[in-house]
Amino acid sequence: MTDEPTGIVERGLHAFGYVAAFVLFAGAHTPPEVVARLRWAYRTVGVEITDTATVDDRELTVFRCPYRRLGADRWGAKWLCHEKLDRVDDGYVTFLARHRDLDYQRPRDCDSAGFCDAESCYSSVTTMG
């Protein structure tokens, strides 16, 4: 993680994601199995998956977050998705690295990715190493 959780709310969201990962990823040990669970979780919270692909053994998911602009007028663009909800994903990152030896790159903006439109985000999963 490049941006560590700060404050009690963000640390709590990270801890929630880590604990939830034990249930969400129970029995899932490979990138395709983990990605199937992540995509289910994304859909459960209302995220629209727009594309999926496997590139160089990396499972990619491209999606649109319905909460992208929620709170933007008060706290800035993408505050809820990238400042708060990502802390739950950080818990998943920690779990998958520690317990599955998998590299989960939590959701990122497509702005500079080159393979998806700027209104979308993407995440990826691959084996460590």
Residues 104-120 pLDDT 10s: 998 887 777 778 887 78
Look-up of token digits 């199937």: 36
Q: What is the pLDDT of residue 94?
A: 97
The structural domains of the chain, with segments of one domain joined by +, span 7-127
**Would the pLDDT of 6 be above 90?**
no
Element (DSSP H or E) covering residue 24: helix 7-24
For 36-78, write each residue's pLDDT tens digit.
Answer: 999 999 899 888 999 999 989 999 999 987 765 555 666 666 6
**Cβ-Cβ contacts under 8 Å for 8 (sequence gap 6 or more):** none
Read off the pLDDT of each residue in 6-28 and give the average, rounded to a whole number.
94
7 or 20, greater pLDDT: 20
Look-up of token digits 């497509």: 110
Q: How confident is the model at residue 1 (pLDDT cuts 50, 70, 90)?
A: very low
How far apart, in whole angstroms, are the C-alpha atoms of residue 45 and residue 5?
21
Residue 18 CB coordination number (10 Å): 18
Q: Cα–Cα distances in Å, from 16 out to 1, 13, 76, 88?
A: 16, 5, 24, 6
Q: How confident is the model at residue 16 (pLDDT cuts 50, 70, 90)?
A: very high
